[in-house]
Copies of this chain bind each other. A is one copy, B any other.
Amino acid sequence: MTTRISIQTHDFDVNAEIAALTEGRSDIGAVVTFSGLVRGDDSLTAMTLEHYPGMTEREIAAHVAEAEGRWPLLGVTVIHRVGRLLPGARIVLVAVASSHRGAAFAAAEFLMDYLKTRAPFWKEEERAGDTRWVEARASDDDAAKRWR
């Protein structure tokens, strides 16, 4: 299985990432992508993402390996941006390729639930000059518990 994990400040192109997963092969029947975007709720003006270099890649790779053990996957790409992002900007991409759609949907949702609760990223929100660290949400923990 091809795996690509990237922590980066720059934006990504979903079509290009799908093409990279599927290029030159004809055994892939399904590609599911999840794109997470910065929401401008409650007059949010910007968001800054911090991460733990080294641990982040390691943690994501472990979850990709776990997904690969659970479903018959043919390729996984995880891109997570860090740094300062404005409302509407893309934050994260999970793309999963498989022969059939069930596995691709399940693995993409699994990876997102685990990214939310285990990958060492932290978000600081800016509102009218004020900054505030985002609190973890119990609903994300509940979502991740589904897979245990």
Contact = CB atoms under 8 A, between A and B. Distances in A.
Tell which of A37, A40, A87, A102 has the most Cβ of chain B within 10 Å: A37
Contacts of A31: 33-35, 37
Nearest to A33: B33
Contacts of A105: 34, 105, 108-109, 112
Interface of A: 13-16, 18, 22, 24-41, 87-88, 99, 101-102, 104-105, 108-109, 112, 143
A29 B143 CA distance: 17
A112 B101 contact: yes
A25 B37 CA distance: 11
Contacts of A102: 143
